[in-house]
Amino acid sequence: MSLALTRRGFIAAGAACVLRPDLALSAGPQRIVSLDYGLASTLLSLGIVPKAVASRADWDVWVIEPDLPAEVVDLGSSWEINFEVLTSLRPDLILTTPFNAALTPRLEAVAPTLSLGVFTADGGDVLPKAFAATRALAARVERKDEGDAFIARTEAFFDECRARIARIGAPPLALLSFLDARHARIYTAPGLYHNVMQRIGLANAWTAPGNFWGFETIGIERLAEMKDPATRLIIFEPVPADVMPKLEESPLWQALPFARPGQLAVLPGALMFGMLNDAMRFARLITDHLEQAA
Amino acid sequence: MDARSPDLSPGSRPAAAFRTEALGFAVEGRSLLADISISFAPGTICGLVGHNGSGKSTLLKLLARQQAPTAGRLFFGEKPLEAMGAQAFARQVAYLPQDVTAANTMTVRELVACGRYPWHGALGRFSDLDAHKVEEALALTHMEQLSDRLVDTLSGGERQRAWLAMLMAQDTGCLLLDEPTSALDIAHQMEVLALVRRLSHEKGLGVVIVLHDINMAARFCDRLYALKAGRLIAQGEPQALMTADTLHDIYGIEMNVTRHPALDIPLAYVC
Amino acid sequence: MSLKSHLGPAAIVVMLLGLSLVLAAPQAAVLMGNADAATGSAMHRLVFLNSTLPRMATALLAGASLALSGALFQQVLRNPLASPTTLGISAGANLALVAVTLFVPGLLGFGRDLVALCGSAAAAGLVFLMGARQKFSPISLVMSGLVVSLWCGALSAVLMLLNERYLVSLFIWGAGSLSQQSWAIPLSLAPKLALVCLVVAAILRPLLLNELGDAGARALGVHMVRLRVVAVMAAVALAAFVTSAVGVIGFIGLVSPTIARLAGAPRAGQQLVWSTLIGAALLFLTDTALLATAGAFADFLPTGAVTAIFGSPLLLILLPRLKIRHRLMEAEAPVSLNPATARLAKRLMLPAAVLVLAVALVFGRSPDLGFTLMPPDLSGDLLALRLPRIAAAFFSGAMLAVAGTILQRLTGNEMASPEVLGISAGATLGVAVAVFLVAAPGLGAQLGFSALGAFAVLSVIFLLAARSGLQPERVLLAGIALSAMVDAVIGVIGATGDPRAVFLLRWMSGSTYSVSAFGALMAAVLAVLLISGSAFMRRWLELLPLGSSAASALGVPVGRARFLLLTLAGLLSAAATMSVGPLSFVGLMAPHLSRQLGFVRATPQLFGGALIGGMLMVAADWLGRSLAYPYEIPAGLVSALIGAPFLILLMRRARA
């Protein structure tokens, strides 16, 4: 790039920096609020603390890491963010997703918005879209370098996980959350979990694709459709209290290969509708668990 | 009080009356009424009698335009019934259904004021004339004392009187009454029918009334029409109609007739 | 009993079961066929023995229980529309279970049945209490039942919305899934069903005398009231057991006795027996068909929601068969406040309205979480945010109140309200379509689709009821049937775990959140136009409660008047639904309150009700904005939650 840069252009750019000190000193918007967990968490990784996040009260339940500083204000439910709070914060950028498209005109009236979609109805793999969204966000808040570094960090982490998993050799995994003693949500293509598993060299034992968020709701008996006896089951917290005792009583569950000790693990959750931080958290949880189990 | 005294008050006016020509009514192919041709005389009380299911209530409903006939024609005065507007008809003919809803949130006066609807319509002003007619109706039916009571709180006889007052406020020349005494004890039956008779005679109203009790009908009506299985089988003044043979035809059981010990009216009894 | 009268129902049972077996056969063949082959088939057999078979058993048992429950209700109440679904029994059990899941999960282990029983008994008690006021007339009982259903649904919805984490599991439950992993559920259901069957068998003979009526039965030495209590308790228990075991399975209890009757089981005893068998076969068939086609949709479909989608239209078909006797408004004295209090209340109404509006406008919470007056530096911004919402709430509340007044006067039924007119259901359906056609519909699209939906449903209802001369009861029942269907559709969407269900739930719960200044202006204009329109029809509103024959004898064009008034009520509810959602019960409450204050005649009741409705909605909106700040509870839900118990209190007072 520097080869292509003419001397005149170089001078002009320098002059611009001198004439517009604000551009050179601080890059981009300062008072940013986010309606989406994934975007807020990415923003933190770019070195910016958002002024407010929607559904902040549940951050520690769903997102868990990175930590959200105490001064971040709660914007109310992500479906219906509180405009009185939003207005009084006087933000200069609002991060949102196509999911909140109905709000966009009203958000625009308060401040400029940036809408980035990772989970969109047109489908397709989620992870590449998460990378693209991260780049776009970094560009918009003028933290391009931090963005590139964050992406590089992520890729490196995935590579590391891939290598660690290759060393121990892993069985196919089925990932699920229990809804009640009879029903579960199983994670599959094209979701975030599924993409990360592909990326770090793991096989998803559940092969049927799900909806565009990447999951499917099933009755527990359908777990028997997974034939490979080596399949290991990863259950994400929270598990409703009455599920395990009820399953113990079921001969069907008892007969499933993953009901045996060592074939099943309960892990803390990672946000399944998140972005890179959540993908990394998921990769770390799984890789750590597999290494421990090996 | 002699209920059959024929005194026509001077304020009476000639009113138009109903005429039917080969009237018939059928539901799902079943004939409820057939070939009824009657000219009701104006200013008289005409009773419809017959056993259950004889078609007397159906005939009244056809007259009241609650149902449309499936055969024959109906006239009010010279006009075919179907040619009259709903409101115009309601200015000439008032109808009291057999089972009136209690109108439980209204006072008597409010109920009576409902009778003025055909005159002021959906949008018109409730005029002084309307108010006057309401007071007049209350006075005619001796309901002044009760006018601020809720209709709910009235006894059965008082409630029927309140509804009759509403019909009076409607200021029509003709009343159609469907068993107005069916739920009343004998004293209240007398009270209501005497009122009907007095109103008819004071205002010269034509009345067509369905009555269950043949003796009540004979006592209060000027003319009787007997129906059986949807056909008109006898008509005439009570004196003429109240014979053992005719009564047998009407009700299908052996009956006989005697005289009222005090009044000059026939009394029917089952043998 | 002749053999002949058993032939029809028996043929139907055999046909249903045969059809199910044809559908189930390929499955069973796959699962059992090569049993002697190695490895994989052992698992197949296990699935067949411990999932498929118990599922079939559960379908049979649940179907039988619900059908018996429905048949008992229909016998005892002599009401062909009675069933656990239409009487709100299932919804009551469901609400109790949802509440306990969220707040006292420890209770669920052993006390599940008990919780469900309490819930359904409470719902039943409530419905009968309201039904008693109109002498248990079939229509009023079902109307009360569906209002209780709606209310339980609203409460479940708010509980679910505030606990998103449990959302999907509650949806699945509410929609009734039969999937099984062991014999635990059928094995616990079977003895309970057997026990209730014994009880029913014991009272069967005296129960047959029910058809003679109270006096007739008493003359034969049967204590009818005690008998009825036992029968109703048995029916309530059956519905509660099923709900506690597998969730809400709609309409089996309504459909099966109907089929039994139509198939020629004329006598009460036969109807009970054959309904039970038909119910078992019917749910069995539904579930097998669902399993057989599930692969095609590759989606999770709860059986209960499917029975509701197919069952609710049946209610529409049944309507014309139902004899609606003359409405005799029972001599129920209109209890108002004592005159002095009422006068005072009337005089205070305007100042109160002004006060409510002012508080709602300037008083609120701020990010430091305290209640404050509006800070002056933000007043411009905050006013711009609050004013449209308050205006929309006020005018929508007023419109709902007027719609409710019109419907209550038109039907002479005190439970009539815009909620049960089906308008809201139509609007919701429209929005559901929008959400799935246009992935993320903007405000304009939402409004457009909801209006389209509302009018589509209204036209369907009018067409269905046109044959009866727009008898208001039929219109309301048609609306109720469509509402039930829409609920089921939302249930299906929710149970698949699709996040768009939350959007629909939010929309249904009725928030002024997305009202724009333009929307508020529209609401105001529509309110003024439509409410003055209703004032033009005040004379009809005075006369129609006299009964249709008396009104037509006075020259009121009854058919046209009904059509215009229903259309007006429809427009009013649709306009209000746009800003405060479909479910608020303001349309039910405000006319009552207005009458209690002594506004008995049509015009004062209309305008008094409008003012009260507006105030209620503004107050609900303010509470909804402040209670869980910065989170919002939709105004519609707030008013439904506060309003319904309040209404019940009012009715109890009126009874005493």
The residue type found at B30 is R
Structural domain contains residue C360? no
How many domains does one find in chain A? 2
Q: What is the mean pLDDT of residues B27-37?
A: 88
Predicted local confidence at residue C213, as pLDDT: 61
Q: Is the pLDDT of residue A118 over 70?
A: yes
Q: Is the pLDDT of residue B124 over 60?
A: yes
Predicted local confidence at residue C532, as pLDDT: 92
Nearest Cα residue to B61 out of B37, B84, B95: B95
Q: What is the mean pLDDT of residues C604-633?
A: 89
For chains A and C, having 3+ Cβ pairs within 8 Å is answered yes
Q: Cβ distance B208 to B46 under 8 Å? A: yes
Q: Cβ distance C78 to C131 under 8 Å? A: no
CB contact residues (below 8 A), chain C span 208-247, against chain A: none
CB within 8 Å: A221 and C378:
no
Give the percent of chain C with pLDDT over 90. Answer: 12
Predicted local confidence at residue C455, as pLDDT: 76
A-C CB pairs within 8 A amount to 151
Residue that terminates a domain, selected from A116, A134, A155: A116
State how far the Cα of C308 lies from the Cα of C175, in Å rounded to an integer: 9
Nearest C-alpha in B relative to C541: B122
The residue type found at C218 is R
Query: At B9, is the pLDDT very low, low, confident or very high (cuts 50, 70, 90)?
Result: very low
The residue type found at A129 is K
Q: How many CB atoms lie within 10 A of CB B124?
A: 12
The rounded mean pLDDT for chain C is: 78
CB within 8 Å: C550 and B87:
no
Residue that terminates a domain, selected from C289, C321, C353: C321
How many domains does one find in chain C? 2
Query: At C507, is the pLDDT very low, low, confident or very high (cuts 50, 70, 90)?
Result: confident
Structural domain contains residue C376? no
Alpha helices, DSSP H only, in B10-127? Answer: 56-63, 86-92, 108-114, 117-120
Q: How far is C395 from chain B (nearest CA, A)?
A: 25
User: Given the structure tokens 């006390």, which residue do they identify?
Assistant: C111
Nearest C-alpha in B relative to C538: B122
Helices C602-626 and C517-536, interaxial angle, to 10°? 160
CB contact residues (below 8 A), chain C span 516-555, against chain A: 516
Structural domain contains residue C352? no
Predicted local confidence at residue C137, as pLDDT: 66
Q: Rounded to an integer, what is the distance from CA C21 to the centroid of its chain?
A: 34
Residue that terminates a domain, selected from C306, C321, C336: C321
Q: How many CB atoms lie within 10 A of CB C503?
A: 20
β-strands A73-74, A52-53 pairing = parallel
Q: How far is B60 from chain C (nearest CA, A)?
A: 12
Residue that wins the pLDDT comparison between C373 and B234: B234
Predicted local confidence at residue A139, as pLDDT: 93
Nearest Cα residue to C160 out of C147, C174, C146, C150: C174
b/e burial code for range A227-252 (CB count within 10 A of at least 16 → b):
eeeebbbbbbeeebebbeebbeebeb
Structural domain contains residue C156? yes
pLDDT single digits (tens) C87-115: 888 888 888 888 887 777 766 666 677 88
Q: Is the pLDDT of residue B13 over 60?
A: no
CB contact residues (below 8 A), chain B span 112-131, against chain C: 114-115, 117-118, 120-123
Give the CATH number of the domain where residue C573 resides.
1.10.3470.10
pLDDT single digits (tens) B199-212: 888 888 999 999 98
Tell me: do C472 and C569 sit in the same domain. yes
* Chain C interface includes B97 (CB < 8 A): yes
Nearest C-alpha in C relative to B155: C331
pLDDT single digits (tens) A164-188: 999 998 889 999 988 877 788 899 8
Structural domain contains residue C326? no
Q: Is the pLDDT of residue C539 over 70?
A: yes
Residue that wins the pLDDT comparison between B33 and B126: B33
Tokens at residue C605, please?
A: 């009741």
Predicted local confidence at residue C390, as pLDDT: 93
Q: Is the pLDDT of residue A151 over 50?
A: yes
Minimum-distance CB partner of A82 among C106, C446, C632:
C632
Residue that wins the pLDDT comparison between C478 and A287: A287
β-strands B174-178, B206-210 pairing = parallel
Q: How many separate helices (H) and strands (E) can be counted in chain C?
A: 26, 2
CB within 8 Å: A211 and C498:
yes
**Count of positions (residues) in chain C:** 656
Q: Is the pLDDT of residue C377 over 90?
A: no
Residue that wins the pLDDT comparison between C266 and A154: A154
Tell me: do A181 and A288 sit in the same domain. yes
Predicted local confidence at residue C244, as pLDDT: 84
Q: Which chains touch C (3 or more CB pairs under 8 A)?
A: A, B
Structural domain contains residue C421? yes
Residue that wins the pLDDT comparison between C617 and C139: C617
Q: Is CATH 3.40.50.300 the classification given to domain B18-270? A: yes
Nearest Cα residue to A180 out of C361, C205, B156, C244: C244
pLDDT single digits (tens) B62-73: 999 888 899 999
* CA–CA distances in Å: residue A187 to residues B159, C239, C491: 72, 35, 22
Please give the angle made by the CA atoms of A184, A185 and A187, to the nearest 5 degrees: 140
- Residue A219: partners with Cβ closer than 8 Å, 6 or more residues away: A182, A183, C51, C177, C179, C180, C181, C300
Nearest Cα residue to C496 out of C186, C169, C152: C169
Residue that terminates a domain, selected from C321, C350, C379: C321
The rounded mean pLDDT for chain A is: 84
pLDDT single digits (tens) C244-253: 888 888 788 8
Please name the helix (run of DSSP H) or strand (run of DSSP E) that holds residue C122, with its range, or none.
Answer: helix C108-132
Q: Rounded to an integer, what is the distance from CA B77 to the centroid of its chain?
A: 17
Structural domain contains residue A229? yes
Q: Is the pLDDT of residue B91 over 70?
A: yes
Structural domain contains residue A141? no
Segments forming the whole domain that contains residue C621: 392-655
Which residues on A lie below 8 Å from C163 (Cβ)?
none
User: Given the structure tokens 């949806």, which residue do they identify?
Assistant: C171
Q: Is the pLDDT of residue C332 over 60?
A: no
- Residue C501: partners with Cβ closer than 8 Å, 6 or more residues away: C167, C171, C490, C493, C494
pLDDT single digits (tens) B173-206: 899 999 888 778 888 888 889 989 998 888 889 9
- Residue C654: partners with Cβ closer than 8 Å, 6 or more residues away: C133, C332, C334, C335
Backbone angles phi, psi at A105, to 5 degrees: -60, -40
Q: Is the pLDDT of residue A133 over 90?
A: yes
pLDDT single digits (tens) A17-39: 444 444 434 567 889 999 999 99
* Chain B interface includes C437 (CB < 8 A): no
Tell me: do A177 and A105 sit in the same domain. no
Q: In what order do the strands lie in the sheet with B206-210?
A: B93-96, B174-178, B206-210, B45-49, B223-228, B231-236
Which residues on A lie below 8 Å from C511 (Cβ)?
80
Tell me: do A90 and A188 sit in the same domain. no
Segments forming the whole domain that contains residue A208: 168-293
Tokens at residue A85, please?
A: 């709070």
Q: Which of B71-85, C169-183, C311-325, C494-508 has the lowest mean pLDDT?
A: C311-325
* Chain A interface includes C626 (CB < 8 A): no
β-strands A173-178, B45-49 pairing = unpaired
Q: How many CB atoms lie within 10 A of CB C220?
A: 10
Q: How many CB atoms lie within 10 A of CB A209?
A: 15
Q: Is the pLDDT of residue B5 over 50?
A: no
pLDDT single digits (tens) A182-194: 788 899 888 899 9
State how far the Cα of C204 lies from the Cα of C225, in Å rounded to an integer: 14
Which range, A255-269, C38-52, C416-430, has the best average confidence (pLDDT)?
A255-269
Task: Name the CA radius of gyration of chain A, rounded.
Answer: 22
Tell me: do C298 and C443 sit in the same domain. no
State how far the Cα of A177 lies from the Cα of A6, in Å rounded to an integer: 58
Q: What is the mean pLDDT of residues C551-559?
A: 85
Which residues on C lie below 8 Å from B65 (Cβ)?
552
Q: Is the pLDDT of residue C579 over 80?
A: no
* Chain A interface includes C564 (CB < 8 A): no
Q: How far is C419 from chain A (nearest CA, A)?
A: 24
Predicted local confidence at residue A164, as pLDDT: 94
Q: How far is C181 from chain A (nearest CA, A)?
A: 6
Which range, A45-49, A234-238, C101-105, C451-455, has the best average confidence (pLDDT)?
A45-49
Distance, first Cα to last Cα, chain B = 30
Q: How many CB atoms lie within 10 A of CB B37?
A: 12
Which residues on C lie below 8 Å from B91 (Cβ)?
555
Q: Cβ distance C636 to C587 under 8 Å? A: no
Q: Is the pLDDT of residue A51 over 90?
A: yes
On the 0-12 / 13-18 / 19+ scale of CB atoms within 10 A, C431 is buried
Q: Is the pLDDT of residue C569 over 70?
A: yes
Predicted local confidence at residue B137, as pLDDT: 92
pLDDT single digits (tens) C11-69: 888 888 888 888 777 766 665 555 444 445 666 777 778 888 888 899 999 999 999 99
Ranges of each domain in chain B: 18-270
pLDDT single digits (tens) C286-303: 888 887 776 544 456 778
* Chain A interface includes C298 (CB < 8 A): yes
Nearest C-alpha in C relative to A245: C109
Helices C303-318 and C472-495, interaxial angle, to 10°? 170
Query: At C162, is the pLDDT very low, low, confident or very high (cuts 50, 70, 90)?
Result: low
